[in-house]
Amino acid sequence: MSRRIGILGYGRMGAPVARRLHRHGFDVTVSDIDEGALERARAEGLPTAPDGGALAARSDTLITVLPGPIECRDALTGADGALGALAPGGVWLDFTSNDPRSVSALVVEAAGRGVGSVAAPMRGGPADAAAGTLGFYLAGEPAEVREVSGILTALGHDGSATVVQTDPALGHVAKLIANTLWFGQVIAVTEVLLLGRALGWDPSALHAALLESPGASAFLERHAPSILAGDPLPDFSLGRVVEELETVLRLAEEAGTPHETIELVTRLHREALASFGDVDGELLAAALLEERAGRPLSADVPSRRDTRTEAR
């Protein structure tokens, strides 16, 4: 635990990550472009740095927990970028939901400065970060992964788990593909439940039957109940959902692989974004389909359009 850790981003995920590591005895300093976030960190007993460069200068491991690819690239590069202040021998550990193409360029830049790179985009939300039950799509050179293994273990990673790939960009590929499958199931499951109801099934009873079918899945078990309850799962903004799907769609176009389903899933989430605005909710494409069907699957749940939150 002797390595000095800098956490760049003290927001929805960065704050619980920082607090947990601090409670577990790690030497943690945080920075964020939002002064209000820094004030909260100081009130919670965490040391802060005024900017990413100052943070990196006093860190052996720099963790980025930022909203997306643009924010990560801007924080790390340029004249005042954090990568330029991280000393040779340091490690950049990326928790951001990132674009693998951007990550590839950043890994090259880091290597040119003698800095190692590990990608560990997260599985789970703020509650998992606080409880130490996060999962990671881990990728990086084994020696560099070992340098950060204590951090990952404190946050929930099983130290015996296999590293996904040695190329950090591929960790982000894995997360994007997994999320695309998840968002695709939002569409597919909602559509079949709406169809079943129209043909006479009670949605909850049909859901129970599907759990015993060859089409059963982790999504049906863990997340379809939220659709039935009218819970939009507000841990992630709809704008970021669309951003991730558009990244996957561009990757598929560039790779020349079939992507008709990815295109459809992306289009429906874009339409949900146009309808509801950039509010929090990973299941709002389900709400869009329910509106088009005439009423929600749980008829006693008010339309999510009536309970929208402010855009962030």
Residues 143 and 220 in one domain: no
Please identify every residue annotated as catalytic. 175
Answer yes or no: do 9 and 130 share one domain: yes
Same domain for 155 and 177? Answer: no
CATH code of the domain containing 230: 1.10.1040.10
Contact by Cβ (8 Å): 72, 96: yes
Q: Give the contacts of 126 (CB within 8 A, at least 6 positions apart).
A: 12, 13, 15, 16, 235
Residues 102 and 242 in one domain: no
Asked whether residue 60 is domain-assigned, the answer is: yes
User: Kind of pairing, strands 116-119 and 4-8?
Assistant: unpaired
Count of beta carbons in the 10 Å neighbourhood of residue 44? 13
Q: Is residue 127 part of a domain?
A: yes
Q: Give yes or no: residues 78 and 190 share one domain.
A: no
HSE-CB at 30 with a 13 A cutoff on CA atoms is 32
pLDDT at 312: 28
The domain in which residue 205 lies consists of: 171-307
**How many other C-beta atoms are found inside a 10 Å radius of the C-beta of residue 89?**
10
Residues 161 and 186 in one domain: no
63 and 115 fall within a common domain = yes
End residue of a domain, out of 166, 197, 214? 166
User: Which of 136, 166, 196 is the last residue in one of the domains?
Assistant: 166
DSSP H or E run through 7 = strand 4-8
What pTM, to 2 d.p., does this model score?
0.91
Could you tell me how many residues make up the chain?
Answer: 312
Answer with the one of 117, 142, 166 that is the final residue of a domain: 166
**Residue ranges of the chain whose pLDDT lies below 50:** 1, 300-302, 306-312
- The mean predicted confidence, pLDDT, of the chain is 93
Q: Are residues 176 and 159 in the same domain?
A: no
Same domain, 15 and 154: yes
Residue 187 near residue 293, CB atoms below 8 Å: no
Closest to 246 measured CA to CA, from 13, 9, 69, 67: 69
Q: How many domains does the chain have?
A: 2
190 and 104 fall within a common domain: no
Q: Please count the other Cβ atoms lying within 10 Å of the Cβ belonging to residue 203.
A: 18
* Residues 19, 151 within the same domain: yes
